[in-house]
Amino acid sequence: EVQLVESGGGLVQPGRSLRLSCAASGFTFDDYAMHWVRQAPGKGLEWVSGISWNSGSIGYADSVKGRFTISRDNAKNSLYLQMNSLRAEDTALYYCAKVFPRGFDFWSGYLDYWGQGTLVTVSS
Amino acid sequence: DIQMTQSPSSLSASVGDRVTITCQASQDISNYLNWYQQKPGKAPKLLIYDASNLETGVPSRFSGSGSGTDFTFTISSLQPEDIATYYCQQYDNLPPAFGPGTKVDIK
Q: Is the dihedral of CA B47, A108, B91, A58 positive or negative?
A: positive
Mean pLDDT calculated for residue range B60-87: 98
Determine contact, residues B102/B8, Cβ cutoff 8 Å. yes
Q: State CA B78 to chain mean position distance.
A: 14
Please report the pLDDT score of residue A103 as a whole number.
85
Residues of chain B with Cβ-Cβ distance to A104 below 8 Å are none
Instruction: Check CB contact of A5 with chain B, cutoff 8 Å.
Output: no
Instruction: Check CB contact of B58 with chain A, cutoff 8 Å.
Output: no
CB contact under 8 A, B36 and A45: yes
Please report the pLDDT score of residue B70 as a whole number.
98
Instruction: Check CB contact of B59 with chain A, cutoff 8 Å.
Output: no
Determine contact, residues A36/A93, Cβ cutoff 8 Å. no
Please report the pLDDT score of residue A104 as a whole number.
87
Residues of chain A with Cβ-Cβ distance to B96 below 8 Å are 35, 47, 50, 107
Residue-wise pLDDT tens for chain A (124 aa)? 999 999 999 999 999 999 999 999 999 999 999 999 999 999 999 999 999 999 999 999 999 999 999 999 999 999 999 999 999 999 999 999 999 998 888 888 999 999 999 999 999 9
Determine contact, residues B62/B53, Cβ cutoff 8 Å. no
Q: Tens digits of per-residue pLDDT, B42-72?
A: 999 999 999 999 999 999 999 999 999 999 9
Closest of A100, A44, A69, A16 to residue B100, by C-alpha: A44
CB contact under 8 A, B100 and A44: yes
Instruction: Check CB contact of B94 with chain A, cutoff 8 Å.
Output: yes
Q: How many CB contacts within 8 angstroms connect chain A with chain B? A: 63
